Structure 1
Amino acid sequence: MLDAALLRPGRFDKLVYVPPPDSLARLQILQIHTRGTPLAEDVDLEILTQETDMYTGADLSNLCREAAMIALRGMREASVVVSISVLDANTLRRPFLLED
Structure 2
Amino acid sequence: MFWHGEEGQRYTHFASRFAVIAKRAKVPWRCHDLRHRFASVFLQETGDLAALQAILGHRHIAMTLKYAHLNTAHLHRAIKRVGTKTGTAPLVSREPTVSETMVSA
Same fold (TM over 0.5): no
How high is the TM-score relative to the length of structure 2?
A: 0.24
Higher relative contact order (CA 8 A, sep 6+): 1
Higher helix share: 2
